[in-house]
Structure 1
Amino acid sequence: MVLRALAVVVAGMLVAACAGAAPVAPARIVVALGDSVPAGTACGCDPFPVLYARAQRAAAVNLAVPGATSADVLAGLPAARDTLARADEVLVMAGANDVAPVFRGDYAAATAGVRTAVAATIAGIEGVHRVPVVVLGYWSIVPDGHAGTADPRAAARATAAVNDALRAAARDTGARYVDTEAAFHGPDGASDPTPLLAPDGDHPDARGHAVIAALLPPLQRRP
C-alpha cells in the first residue's frame, strides 16, 4: 500500500518537473497498529488513524487487525518492517483482546503481558528507525453504554488495569500515552458513551472515531 502511494507521489513529481513547476514533497506517513478499534470495525466510516492523518496532511497506513492481541501486534512487526521504515509516526492501540475474555477473573498475568508486549513493540519499531510512537488507552475493553456488560464495575476495573499497563509501557519506552476514557465517559466518569459507539457497544461509531482523532497530539517530525 505504501509503495503504491509513494509511486503515485513520485509520478506527480515527475509531471510537475516536466511542466516546470516546483516538485511536491512526499506526504508524511502515519502507521497504525492494533486491534478492531483502530481498524474501524462496526463503524462503516473512516477510523481515527485515517481522520488524524488527514487532519495532519499525512497519509495513513492502517495495519490494525480485528481481534489482534498485543502479542499479535508484536509478532506482526517483521512483516511491517518496510512500512515502519517510512513512518513519520506510529499509533499503537492493543491490549483489550488480551484481558476482555477474563475481565471478571484474575487478569494480572494478562495485563503484565500487555505491558511487556507493547513495550517490546515500541522497542521493535524504534529498532527499525527512531520515530514518535503514540500509545492509546481504552474507554472500555468490553461492550459499553446501552449494550454494555451486566457487570460494569468489573469492566471498569479491568479497563483501568489495561490502561495502567499501556501507560507503563509508554513510560518505559519514552512513547506518548493518550487517554480516551474521559472523552467517552466525561471528566467525572459518569457520562453515557452510547452516542459515540456503534450498535454493538464495543466499537466507536463515526463520531467516536472523530473524538479519538481529536485527542491525538500534532504529528511530530522524525527525530
Structure 2
Amino acid sequence: MRQEGGTRRGPGVARSSRLRGFAAVAILAVAWSVVLEAAPVVRVTGNARAGDTVAPAKVTAKEAAEEVTSIVGLGDSVPAGSACNCDTFVSLIRRALAARQGTAVAAHNLATGGLTTQGLLDQVDSGSATDAIGKADLVIITIGANDFDSTSLGEDDCGPGAGLACYKNDLARLRANVDGILGKVRALQTRPRSRIVVTGYWNVFLDGDSARAKGATYVSNSDALTRAVNRTLAQTAGAKGARYVDVYGPFKGDGSRDDTPLLAADGDHPNAAGHRVIADSILSALAADGRR
C-alpha cells in the first residue's frame, strides 16, 4: 500500500494498541491463541483416555490430497507485515493449518512493501518465486493498492459522483495486470488441488481515525475507490478460477464500522488484531470450499 503523496511505504512502525469498541476482536484474539497453542498436532483414533498411548490415525487418500503442505504469500506491504511487529496473516494461516491437519506446513512469504501489480508480474517470473509457487498448494495474493495515487483524491472527477473518472485507466490496468498475475501463477502450479486466494482491502489508502483527520471528501472518495478496486479484484479472480476473500466486511461491516482498532499507528496497515482478522477470513473461506 502507499503512503500519502504517492510514495511507497518502507518498513513499518509500531502497531496501534487501541481496541476500544472492538470487544469482539479481543475475544477473537483469545480464541485464536487457544487454537494455535492448544490444538493437537497429531490425529488420534478410538476413545483415548488420560495416560493412554495413542497412535496417529490413518489418513485417507482424499484427506491427504486436500492437505496444504506449502503456502506462498505474494503482494505488497500488507502480507509483508509492514508497520506491525507481529505474525503476519500468512504465518498465522500456516500455524492454524498445521494444527488442524496435524502435519508440517511450510510458508514462503515473498510479499514486498511498495509492490505494484506490475512489480508482482515481474516477480513471479523470478527464479525463487517460480520455484516456491510451483511447490505450493496454496498461494495467497494481496496486491493493487500501490497502483493508485492518493494525491488525486481531492479532484472533482475522483469521487463517486463522477464515477471515479480519474482512476478509470488505473482500474483497467489493475484488471489486466491481476489477470496476468493469476495466469502466470496458475501455469506455475504443479501440485494436485493447488489453490489461489486473492484478498481485497478495507481501504487502499488511510482509514479509521487517520482518514477522518483528512476530511469527509477523503473518506468518501477513498472508500468509493476501495470498493471499485475490490470489485475488480473479485471479478478478475473469479474469471481465473481463484478464490476472492473479502476483508472489507470483516474490518468495516457495511462501511459504517470504525476499524481503527485493527490498524497500526500509521492508520494504513493492519496491526496484530487486523492480521488475525484477515487470517480468519481466509481460513473460513478455505473451510467453506472444503479445505481444512
Query: What's the TM-score, normalizing by structure 2?
Result: 0.64
Cα drift, residue 103 of structure 1: 5.2
- Matched positions, count: 199
For 1:191, the equivalent position in structure 2 comes to 257
> Which runs of 5 or more residues in structure 1 are unaligned?
1-21
Which of the residues 279, 282, 286 maps onto 1:213?
279
| 2:208–2:267 CA contact under 8 A, matched in 1 | yes
For 1:16, the equivalent position in structure 2 comes to none
Which of the residues 100, 119, 122 maps onto 2:182?
122
Cα drift, residue 169 of structure 1: 1.2
| 1:185–1:192 CA contact under 8 A, matched in 2 | yes
**Offset from partner CA, 1:128-184 (integer Å, 9 cap, x none):** 125210000001011111111431000011101111111121012011101111111
2: distance between equivalents of 1:71 and 1:165?
16
| 2:76–2:143 CA contact under 8 A, matched in 1 | yes
Point out the structure with max Rg over C-alpha: 2
2: distance between equivalents of 1:140 and 1:85?
31
1: distance between equivalents of 2:198 and 2:68?
22
For 1:29, the equivalent position in structure 2 comes to 70
Cα drift, residue 31 of structure 1: 0.3
Verify: 1:141 aligned to 2:188, yes or no.
no
For 1:202, the equivalent position in structure 2 comes to 268
For 1:154, the equivalent position in structure 2 comes to 221
| 1:88–1:221 CA contact under 8 A, matched in 2 | no
Q: Equivalent residue of 1:78, what SS?
A: coil
| 2:68–2:97 CA contact under 8 A, matched in 1 | no
**Offset from partner CA, 1:199-218 (integer Å, 9 cap, x none):** 10100000000000000133
* Pairs within 5 Å for 1:170-189: 170-186=237-253, 188-189=254-255
Q: Which amino acid letter does the alignment assign opposite residue 119 of structure 1?
A: D
| 2:68–2:137 CA contact under 8 A, matched in 1 | no
For 2:230, the equivalent position in structure 1 comes to 163
> Which runs of 5 or more residues in structure 2 are unaligned?
1-55, 57-63, 99-104, 159-165
1: distance between equivalents of 2:152 and 2:237?
22
| 2:68–2:138 CA contact under 8 A, matched in 1 | no
For 1:12, the equivalent position in structure 2 comes to none
Q: Equivalent residue of 2:268, what SS?
A: coil
For 1:8, the equivalent position in structure 2 comes to none
Q: Equivalent residue of 1:61, what SS?
A: strand
Cα drift, residue 100 of structure 1: 3.7
For 1:18, the equivalent position in structure 2 comes to none
Q: Which amino acid letter does the alignment assign opposite residue 67 of structure 1?
A: G
Verify: 1:45 aligned to 2:82, yes or no.
no
1: distance between equivalents of 2:228 and 2:201?
10
2: distance between equivalents of 1:46 and 1:146?
24
Cα drift, residue 102 of structure 1: 5.5
| 1:136–1:179 CA contact under 8 A, matched in 2 | yes
Q: Report the CA distance shift for 1:215/1:100 in structure 2 as closer, same or farther (over 3 A).
A: farther
**Offset from partner CA, 1:40-80 (integer Å, 9 cap, x none):** 00000011111111111122210000000111111101111
Q: CA RMSD in A?
A: 2.2
